[in-house]
Amino acid sequence: MNEQIVILDFGSQYTQVIARRIRECSVYSTILRYDTPASEIAKLNPKGIILSGGPSSVYASDAPLPDKGIFKLDVPILGICYGVQLLAHYLGGRVEKGQKREYGKGSLTIADSGCALFAGLPKTLQVWNSHGDKLTRLPKDFVVVGTTDNSDYAAIEHPKRRIFGIQFHPEVVHTPRGREIVANFVHKICGCGRQWTMRNYIDQAVEEIRTQVGSERVILGLSGGVDSSVAAALLHRAIGDQLTCIFVNNGLLRAREAEVVQEVFGRNFKIRLQYEETSALFLKKLKGVTDPERKRKIIGKTFIDVFQAATRRAGKAKFLAQGTLYPDVIESVPIAGNPAAMIKSHHNVGGLPKNMKFALVEPLRCLFKDEVRQLGVELGLPKEIVQRQPFPGPGLAVRCLGEITPDKLRILREADSIVVEEMKSAELYYETWQTFAVLLPVRSVGVQGDERTYDFTIAIRAVESQDGMTADWVRLPYDVLERVSLRITNEVRGVNRVVLDLTSKPPGTIEWE
Ligand code: XMP
């Protein structure tokens, strides 16, 4: 079993960030609900425990509290923010409402330079605070190791029991040296090595997949996106021809997308690829439909029908593989004010119908997205796939407004390839969250050569985002925009106008639908 750090989640919006910071130290981390019994935690044999922050106050009647048995497990503990209040609550300190909320940037003065948590760090550090309550009496046998203007107990330690508490958030980027604090905790205090790497994970995952699957066959729906692609490469490494990937061309893909998938997976990896050419079917079902919700429904239902029929043709398989990631698996803490509890809902949840009787293989279910990308690189997938931007399931249908016709799709594909090409050559493509073209159902008058035209409008959409939930439009350089616009109006027949979308999300969405 991997050496691991257990994070108990008290509903902080940063819990997953803590987990990622630990993994960036090449140490495995697991997020568990705040009330997981100490006996369960002990079974995992953690090298350390972190108590996350959270929106509550320890004195609230419904405050989330951990099993106090965790303090008897004799492993190092680090309480962050609300986690410190818990230390005080359980170990004999006192917490009171702060005179003023401490929120935002602060400066931490390290009071004990011998404290392992701050080893190698300067005497003062910029830190990020976000708390209302604060510690006013040290828990028993603790010492102060850091102070801020607003708090005499901003960082505390129980030297003998190796229990630490910090009021600020070391995991966020606004604590610039926070990564080193996390690294000190996991390496120097908990004694973890650097075992968790994607190179090591391949061996572990291959073994687990082989044990789970035995000599049975596995089917995977390959979309060409990062998750299903990496899952395909990993499963293929483990079970070779026992894996069949089904790729559905729904006629709503970007230019060359189907070719790239066939090239990479069919020809290079020599994966058994069942290619389903169903463009005509999808376009027939979408004929005359303009309502965005209806488009989505039709595409979703048709996909399920096509995929189900394809699995029957693929022959008898016991398992269905899915590229589920860790954030989909973590149980969010049902605490009022916990934004993570709301962030879950997404467009594609719902999945395949219940009557598809497969057992699931989910070889990415303990990985974060950045780890999946690294894993893809280790498995030899090209950058074009590993660094791919998110692309919606309904494909170009949510970027082609009004009725979808073959000619409008042709226009959109050509314009979109120009946007992507120019962004790549300006080295901006992989820096942005999503960059694409949208075809508006608006025709306007233009003049090209000596002729008046009456053609379509293309909108350029480029956004920055962390998770797709909120987004800001990217300030693209004028010369890039100029080249994109010139090329689209010159090279794409049917377009005489290019506009730029200057809307963030909210109030807009990323796709236009
Ligand atoms: P919106 O347009 O809602 O999109 O701001 C947020 C993110 O989700 C993607 N998106 C989808 N992804 N199936 C998906 O897998 C869908 O139906 C879908 N609709 C939107 C969108 O590209 C963006 O990254």
SS3 string, 170-213, reads CCCCCCCCHHHHHHHHHHHHCCCCCCCCHHHHHHHHHHHHHHHH
Question: Residue 394 is which amino acid?
Answer: P
Residue 484 phi, psi dihedral angles, 5° rounding: -60, -50
Distance between Cα 271 and ligand 1 center (Å): 28
Instruction: Output the CA–CA distances (angstroms, integers) from residue 336 to 55, 331, 332, in the order listed.
Output: 8, 15, 11
> What average pLDDT does this structure show over 481-510?
97
> What average pLDDT does this structure show over 402-409?
98
Please, are residues 82 and 12 in contact by the beta-carbon 8 Å criterion? yes
Q: What percent of the chain is predicted at pLDDT more than 90?
A: 87
Looking at residue 158, what is its pLDDT? 97
Domain 405-500 falls under CATH 3.30.300.10: yes
Q: Where in the chain is the domain with CATH 3.40.50.880?
A: 4-189
Query: Does the pLDDT value for residue 148 go beyond 50?
Result: yes
Query: If you take atom 3 of ligand 1, which residue's CA is the nearest one?
Result: 509
Looking at residue 499, what is its pLDDT? 98
Please, are residues 7 and 36 in contact by the beta-carbon 8 Å criterion? no
Looking at residue 355, what is its pLDDT? 74
Active site residue 115: no
Query: Does the pLDDT value for residue 351 go beyond 80?
Result: no
Q: Where in the chain is the domain with CATH 3.40.50.620?
A: 198-386
Q: What percent of the chain is predicted at pLDDT more than 70?
A: 96
Lowest mean pLDDT among 96-110, 302-316, 492-506: 96-110
Looking at residue 286, what is its pLDDT? 98
Lowest mean pLDDT among 55-59, 100-104, 158-162, 190-194: 100-104
The CATH class given to the 4-189 domain equals alpha beta
The string of pLDDT tens digits covering residues 433-450 is: 999 999 999 999 999 888
Looking at residue 133, what is its pLDDT? 83
Indicate the length of the chain as a whole number. Answer: 513
Q: Where in the chain is the domain with CATH 3.30.300.10?
A: 405-500
Question: For residues 102 and 15, which has the higher predicted lDDT (pLDDT)?
Answer: 15
Res. 117 pLDDT band, cuts 50 70 90? very high
Active site residue 89: no
Distance between Cα 344 and ligand 1 center (Å): 13
Q: Among 252, 304, 345, 347, which is best to mutate for testing ligand 1, by the most ligand atoms less than 8 A from CB?
A: 347
> What average pLDDT does this structure show over 171-176?
94
Query: Does the pLDDT value for residue 332 go beyond 90?
Result: no
Lowest mean pLDDT among 169-173, 240-244, 287-291, 447-451: 447-451
Query: If you take atom 21 of ligand 1, which residue's CA is the nearest one?
Result: 392
Looking at residue 345, what is its pLDDT? 43
Looking at residue 132, what is its pLDDT? 75
Query: Does the pLDDT value for residue 460 go beyond 90?
Result: yes
Active site residue 174: no
Query: Does the pLDDT value for residue 350 go beyond 60?
Result: no
Block residue for tokens 């994070």? 7
Looking at residue 346, what is its pLDDT? 47
Looking at residue 349, what is its pLDDT? 46
Kindly state which CATH superfamily the domain 198-386 is placed in: HUPs (3.40.50.620)
Looking at residue 103, what is its pLDDT? 75
Looking at residue 447, what is its pLDDT? 95
Q: Considering 89, 169, 187, 236, which one is annotated as catalytic? A: 169
Please, are residues 495 and 456 in contact by the beta-carbon 8 Å criterion? yes
Please, are residues 112 and 101 in contact by the beta-carbon 8 Å criterion? no
Which distant-in-sequence residues (6+ apart) come within 8 Å of 179 by Cβ?
A: 21, 24, 25, 170
Three-state secondary-structure class, residue 286: helix
Distance between Cα 513 and ligand 1 center (Å): 10
Query: Does the pLDDT value for residue 59 go beyond 60?
Result: yes
The string of pLDDT tens digits covering residues 250-260 is: 999 999 999 99
Q: Considering 81, 190, 366, 400, which one is annotated as catalytic? A: 81
Ligand 1 surroundings by CB, under 6 angstroms: 347-348, 390, 392-394, 398, 434, 468, 505, 509-511
Q: Considering 3, 102, 157, 171, which one is annotated as catalytic? A: 171
Query: Does the pLDDT value for residue 211 go beyond 90?
Result: yes
Three-state secondary-structure class, residue 432: coil
Question: Residue 268 is which amino acid?
Answer: N
Question: Residue 416 is which amino acid?
Answer: D
Nearest alpha carbon to residue 167 among 235, 92, 276, 87: 87
Which distant-in-sequence residues (6+ apart) come within 8 Å of 223 by Cβ?
A: 229, 247, 393
Res. 99 pLDDT band, cuts 50 70 90? low
> What average pLDDT does this structure show over 121-138?
90
> What average pLDDT does this structure show over 373-390?
96
Position in ligand 1 atom list of the atom nearest CA 348: 13
Question: For residues 308 and 57, which has the higher predicted lDDT (pLDDT)?
Answer: 308
Query: Does the pLDDT value for residue 165 go beyond 50?
Result: yes
Nearest alpha carbon to residue 164 among 149, 183, 147, 145: 145
Q: Where are the beta strands (DSSP E) in 365-433?
A: none
**42 alpha-carbon distance from chain centroid:** 29
Q: Compute the mean pLDDT over every residue in the chain, rounded to the nearest whole number.
A: 94
Query: Does the pLDDT value for residue 338 go beyond 60?
Result: no
Task: State both tokens at 507.
Answer: 């109030």
Block residue for tokens 């390290």? 110
Query: Does the pLDDT value for residue 341 go beyond 60?
Result: no
